């Protein structure tokens, strides 16, 4: 596959039709999105917008696998380190800020590139969701949280299917935080289906896919490396700053497992094994989502690795 030629043709088409080009690099965790997006940004005068829902938080570097300064190779990156872990950051916040960066990048004659693994963030931009700025309903949220703890994620998901089946079709049943937020919106009388506008951008999507066993090997190696890089100390620092597991940000892969180790509930080996398993499960959910994403050109991770 000649990726460079595909992108060149896409940019020529966008120029001829007067459309705004937007490149997307997606895939499961540890698939190589970061490296590919930087390579393409350097070749095609691009700048990168992270579509990772956890990399928006400051102080959370190792667990979220944030790109290191030397790895950027001088390519500007946006939507990283923009809020504290105890600040609420919604899909509406992401869409507003990401579009500002996209438009600024385009105004400067450069190519905006979305890169990351949060499928809902990517879809919200590509399909131009008009997300209502509905303030959190804390009373309803507490009630739904109690229902989740008593009856499980499937119960809430069935509730959402009744109120807004289209929204339910775009959220994984186990992602109870998104399910709760969708229920909050649905209870105001609005539906996700009513929130789309005409697409703003001419979108080209590349997805990176691996043989599953090989991807799992990469995930296991990354988790082990995260501990070597200081994930335990990063977790301790966050706890010392007053951030605890009740925060959505602290549910990020890595922190719950390390907190159990820090508290003496499990050994470090057990914590690593659980982190590896949880990350593999997360990657499986990501791939299920992305397989439903339209018009993705899939690239073999093995072939990309062989070239580098």
Task: Look at residue 64 in the predicted model and tell me its pLDDT.
Answer: 96
Task: Look at residue 297 in the predicted model and tell me its pLDDT.
Answer: 96
Q: What is the CATH number of the domain that holds 297?
A: 3.40.50.300
Whether residues 99 and 21 fall in one domain = yes
Q: What is the CATH number of the domain that holds 254?
A: 1.10.287.890
Task: Look at residue 84 in the predicted model and tell me its pLDDT.
Answer: 97
Whether residues 201 and 102 fall in one domain = yes
CA dist list (Å): 145 to 87, 130, 191, 196, 246: 19, 26, 21, 28, 12
Whether residues 183 and 55 fall in one domain = no
Whether residues 157 and 206 fall in one domain = no
Domain that holds residue 228: 212-284
Whether residues 170 and 52 fall in one domain = no
Task: Look at residue 7 in the predicted model and tell me its pLDDT.
Answer: 97
- Do residues 36 and 208 touch, judged by C-beta distance below 8 A? yes
Whether residues 142 and 227 fall in one domain = no
Whether residues 55 and 176 fall in one domain = no
Task: Look at residue 190 in the predicted model and tell me its pLDDT.
Answer: 65
The span from the CA of 11 to the CA of 99, in Å, is 19
Query: What tens-digit pLDDT sequence spans the chain (308 residues)?
Result: 799 999 999 999 999 999 999 999 999 999 999 999 999 999 999 999 999 999 999 999 999 999 999 999 999 999 999 999 999 898 889 999 999 999 999 999 999 999 999 999 999 999 998 766 666 677 888 888 888 888 888 888 898 888 888 777 767 677 777 788 788 878 877 665 555 678 899 999 999 999 999 999 999 999 999 999 999 999 999 999 999 888 989 999 999 999 999 999 999 999 999 999 999 999 999 999 999 888 999 999 998 888 76
- Do residues 52 and 23 touch, judged by C-beta distance below 8 A? no
Whether residues 227 and 155 fall in one domain = no
Whether residues 79 and 205 fall in one domain = yes
Whether residues 90 and 205 fall in one domain = yes
Q: What is the CATH number of the domain that holds 183?
A: 1.10.20.140
How many domains does one find in the chain? 3
Q: What's the pTM value of the predicted model, to 2 decimals? A: 0.83
Task: Look at residue 152 in the predicted model and tell me its pLDDT.
Answer: 84
Task: Look at residue 132 in the predicted model and tell me its pLDDT.
Answer: 64
Whether residues 28 and 96 fall in one domain = yes
Whether residues 59 and 165 fall in one domain = no
């Amino acid at each position: 596959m000649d990726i460079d030629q595909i992108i060149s043709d896409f940019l020529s088409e966008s120029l001829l039709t007067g459309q705004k080009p937007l490149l997307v690099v997606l895939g499961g965790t540890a698939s190589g999105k970061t490296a590919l997006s930087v390579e393409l940004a350097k070749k095609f005068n691009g700048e990168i917008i992270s579509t990772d829902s956890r990399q928006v938080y400051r102080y959370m570097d190792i667990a979220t696998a944030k790109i290191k300064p030397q790895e950027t190779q001088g390519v500007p990156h946006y939507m990283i380190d923009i809020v504290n872990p105890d600040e609420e950051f919604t899909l509406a916040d992401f869409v507003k800020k990401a579009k500002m960066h996209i438009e600024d990048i385009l105004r400067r004659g450069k190519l905006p590139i979305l890169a990351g693994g949060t499928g809902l963030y990517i879809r919200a931009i590509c399909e131009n969701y008009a997300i209502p700025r509905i303030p959190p309903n804390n009373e309803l949220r507490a009630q739904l949280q109690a229902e989740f703890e008593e009856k499980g994620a499937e119960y809430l998901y069935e509730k959402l299917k009744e109120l807004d089946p289209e929204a339910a079709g775009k959220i994984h049943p186990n992602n109870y935080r998104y399910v709760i937020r969708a229920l909050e919106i649905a209870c105001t009388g609005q539906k996700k289906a009513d929130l789309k506008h005409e697409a703003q951008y001419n979108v080209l999507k590349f997805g990176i896919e691996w043989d599953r066993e090989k991807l799992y090997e990469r995930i296991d190696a990354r988790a082990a490396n995260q501990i070597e890089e200081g994930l335990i100390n990063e977790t301790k620092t966050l706890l010392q700053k007053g951030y605890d597991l009740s925060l959505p940000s602290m549910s990020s892969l890595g922190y719950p497992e390390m907190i159990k180790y820090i508290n003496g509930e499990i050994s470090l080996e057990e914590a690593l094994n659980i982190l590896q398993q949880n990350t593999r499960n997360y990657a499986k959910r990501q791939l299920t989502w992305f397989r439903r994403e339209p018009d993705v050109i899939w690239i073999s991770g093995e072939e990309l690795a062989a070239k580098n």
